[in-house]
Structure 1
Amino acid sequence: MFKQLGRSLPRTTDQQYAATTRVARGSEQIGDLIFFGAPGNIYHMGLYAGDGKMWAAPKTGDVVKLQTIWTSSYSVGRVL
């Protein structure tokens, strides 16, 4: 998706976290990245879909699904 918009992202979640601009929780916009974990130890990431939901693969090898963001402990990154 980002490539079609002329943007690029690294492959790993920690690299993606470092490559995005922080956005305050509660100010997410559709398409922002939702990161779980701490910098240097990001363990999960999803694509914000609006209304407290994100697109993400629940576990390795699973298909991407729309799911509720299950915790308020996350960071938001925006690709500029």
Structure 2
Amino acid sequence: MARQQERDLLWLREEFYLSPLPTEKKVIFGHTPTDMITGTWYPFITDQRVGIDTGCVFGGCLSAVELDEGRVTAVYQVGHQASRVG
């Protein structure tokens, strides 16, 4: 982190969530609305990254994910029933 430029810390998006490089642990992130990534207001879920900003401020949903041993097992959204994953 100390070697990162301020611009990258504030504005780096696609290079992060589309990166094929593995991470040491699963990264849960926000501040990038999922409709920018997938075109939907559903969490962005991969093996390495989970985006949970589902655009509540823009008329989307408020979302949370349930993890079990690092795997997303459920997605909760305000106004929607929980949905089990995998």
Higher relative contact order (CA 8 A, sep 6+): 1
**Normalising to structure 1: TM-score of the pair?**
0.29
TM-score (norm 2): 0.28
Greater gyration radius: 2
Higher strand share: 1
